[in-house]
Structure 1
Amino acid sequence: MTAREVERWCEENRITSIEIQATNLDGTFIGKTLSVGKFLGGLAQGFAFADVVFGNDLGNFPVLGFAFPAWRGELEDIFLRPDLDTLCVWRPGKAAVIGDFWRPDGRPVGVCPRNLLRRAAAEAAERGFDAMAAIEIEATVFEESIQEARRVAYDGMTPLGGYAGSAYVLAKSSDWREYLECVEQRLRDIGIDWEAWNDEAAAGQVEVNVAMGSVVDVADRWARTRQVMREVAYDLGRTVTFMAKWSNSWGQASHLNLSLVDEDGNAFFDPAGPSPVMRQFIGGVMQAITGTTSVALPFITSYRRMLPLEGPPTTATWGIGNKTAAIRAITGHPKQSRIEYRLPGADANMYLVSAAVLGAGLFGIRNEVEPPPAFEGMAWCRPEGTELLPTTILQAATALETDKVLREVLGPEFVDYWLGTRRWEWIAFHTMGGADAAAGLTAWERNRYFELA
Structure 2
Amino acid sequence: MLPKKTIQEILQQLVDQNTEKVKLAVTDMDGILRGKIMSFDKFRAVVENGFGFCDVVFGWDAGDQAYDNVSYTGWHSGYPDAKASVDVQTFRQIPWENDIPLFLADFRDVNADALPICPRSLLKNIRSRAAKAGYNCSFSQEFEWFNFINNTEQLYASKFSALQPMTQGMFGYSVLRASQNSEYFNSLFDGMNKFGVPLEGLHTETGPGVYEAAILYSDILEAADRAVLFKAGTKEIAHRHGFIASFMAKPNEQLPGCSGHVHQSLWTKDGKQNVFFDKKKSSGISSLMESYIAGQLYCLPHILPMFAPTVNSYKRLVEGAWAPTTITWAIDNRTTALRALPGSASSTRLETRVVGSDSNPYLAMAGCLAAGLFGIQQKMKLKIPATKGSGYQDKKNGILPANLWEASQAMKSSPVARELFGDAFVDHFTSTREWEWRQFSKKVTDWELQRYLEII
Query: Fold match, TM over 0.5?
Result: yes
Unaligned runs of 5+ in 1: 441-453
In structure 2, C-alpha distance between the alignment counterparts of 1:427 and 1:415, rounded to whole Å: 18
Does the alignment pair 1:268 with 2:276?
yes
Pair 13,372 (structure 1): closer, same or farther in 2 beyond 3 Å: farther
The offset of 1:283, in angstroms, is 1.7
Give the structure 1 partner of residue 426 of structure 2. 415
Does the alignment pair 1:326 with 2:328?
no
Opposite residue 30 of structure 1, the aligned amino acid is: R
Mean CA deviation greater in 238-247 or 376-385: 376-385
- Residues 250-301 of structure 1 show CA distances to partners (whole Å, capped at 9, x for unaligned) of 2111000011011451000012222011011112111101122111111111
Give the structure 1 partner of residue 165 of structure 2. 159
Opposite residue 347 of structure 2, the aligned amino acid is: Q
In structure 1, C-alpha distance between the alignment counterparts of 2:206 and 2:353, rounded to whole Å: 15
Give 2:325's match in structure 1, choosing from 308, 314, 323.
Answer: 314
Give the structure 2 partner of residue 132 of structure 1. 138
Give the structure 2 partner of residue 449 of structure 1. none
| SS of residue matched to 1:420 | helix
Give the structure 1 partner of residue 453 of structure 2. none
Alignment TM-score, normalising by the size of structure 2? 0.91
Give the structure 2 partner of residue 289 of structure 1. 300
- Residues 394-441 of structure 1 show CA distances to partners (whole Å, capped at 9, x for unaligned) of 11112212333321121111111111111111111122x35499899x
Equivalent residues in 2 for 1:118-267, closer than 5 Å:
118-160=124-166, 162-172=167-177, 174-248=179-253, 249-262=255-268, 263=270, 264-267=272-275
- Residues 136-194 of structure 1 show CA distances to partners (whole Å, capped at 9, x for unaligned) of 1111112234455444443232211x221142121216452221211112112212221
Kept in 1: contact 2:56–2:74 (CA 8 A): no
Pair 331,59 (structure 1): closer, same or farther in 2 beyond 3 Å: same
Opposite residue 205 of structure 1, the aligned amino acid is: V
Kept in 2: contact 1:21–1:99 (CA 8 A): yes
Give the structure 1 partner of residue 454 of structure 2. none
Kept in 2: contact 1:168–1:198 (CA 8 A): yes
Kept in 2: contact 1:283–1:369 (CA 8 A): yes
In structure 2, C-alpha distance between the alignment counterparts of 1:228 and 1:202, rounded to whole Å: 22
The offset of 1:13, in angstroms, is 2.9
| SS of residue matched to 2:402 | coil
In structure 1, C-alpha distance between the alignment counterparts of 2:245 and 2:137, rounded to whole Å: 31
Give the structure 2 partner of residue 444 of structure 1. none
In structure 1, C-alpha distance between the alignment counterparts of 2:76 and 2:361, rounded to whole Å: 24
Give the structure 2 partner of residue 336 of structure 1. 347
| SS of residue matched to 1:136 | strand
Give the structure 2 partner of residue 106 of structure 1. 112
Opposite residue 316 of structure 1, the aligned amino acid is: I
The offset of 1:31, in angstroms, is 0.9
In structure 2, C-alpha distance between the alignment counterparts of 1:322 and 1:174, rounded to whole Å: 30
Give the structure 2 partner of residue 73 of structure 1. 77
Equivalent residues in 2 for 1:365-444, closer than 5 Å:
365-431=376-442, 433-435=443-445
Pair 359,71 (structure 1): closer, same or farther in 2 beyond 3 Å: farther
Give 1:38's match in structure 2, choosing from 42, 45, 57.
Answer: 42
Pair 62,139 (structure 1): closer, same or farther in 2 beyond 3 Å: same
Kept in 2: contact 1:195–1:209 (CA 8 A): yes
Give the structure 2 partner of residue 448 of structure 1. none
Kept in 2: contact 1:359–1:406 (CA 8 A): no
Opposite residue 336 of structure 1, the aligned amino acid is: S
Opposite residue 300 of structure 2, the aligned amino acid is: I
Does the alignment pair 1:58 with 2:57?
no
Give the structure 2 partner of residue 280 of structure 1. 291
| SS of residue matched to 1:247 | coil
Unaligned runs of 5+ in 2: 451-456
Pair 4,294 (structure 1): closer, same or farther in 2 beyond 3 Å: closer
- Residues 82-122 of structure 1 show CA distances to partners (whole Å, capped at 9, x for unaligned) of 11111111132511011111123312211111111111111
Kept in 1: contact 2:292–2:375 (CA 8 A): yes
- Residues 217-239 of structure 1 show CA distances to partners (whole Å, capped at 9, x for unaligned) of 01101111111111111111211
In structure 2, C-alpha distance between the alignment counterparts of 1:436 and 1:297, rounded to whole Å: 24
The offset of 1:32, in angstroms, is 1.0
In structure 1, C-alpha distance between the alignment counterparts of 2:216 and 2:449, rounded to whole Å: 39
Give the structure 2 partner of residue 451 of structure 1. none
Opposite residue 31 of structure 2, the aligned amino acid is: G
Kept in 1: contact 2:150–2:239 (CA 8 A): no
Kept in 2: contact 1:16–1:93 (CA 8 A): no
Opposite residue 395 of structure 1, the aligned amino acid is: E
- Residues 22-62 of structure 1 show CA distances to partners (whole Å, capped at 9, x for unaligned) of 21101111111101011110112312112211001123222
Equivalent residues in 2 for 1:346-357, closer than 5 Å:
346-357=357-368
In structure 2, C-alpha distance between the alignment counterparts of 1:173 and 1:384, rounded to whole Å: 38
In structure 2, C-alpha distance between the alignment counterparts of 1:97 and 1:183, rounded to whole Å: 20
Does the alignment pair 1:82 with 2:63?
no
Kept in 2: contact 1:51–1:71 (CA 8 A): no
Give 1:47's match in structure 2, choosing from 34, 42, 51.
Answer: 51
| SS of residue matched to 2:310 | coil
Opposite residue 221 of structure 2, the aligned amino acid is: V
Pair 246,19 (structure 1): closer, same or farther in 2 beyond 3 Å: same
In structure 2, C-alpha distance between the alignment counterparts of 1:269 and 1:344, rounded to whole Å: 24
Pair 333,72 (structure 1): closer, same or farther in 2 beyond 3 Å: farther
Equivalences, count: 438
In structure 2, C-alpha distance between the alignment counterparts of 1:436 and 1:375, rounded to whole Å: 42
Alignment TM-score, normalising by the size of structure 1? 0.91
Opposite residue 390 of structure 1, the aligned amino acid is: P
Pair 255,326 (structure 1): closer, same or farther in 2 beyond 3 Å: same
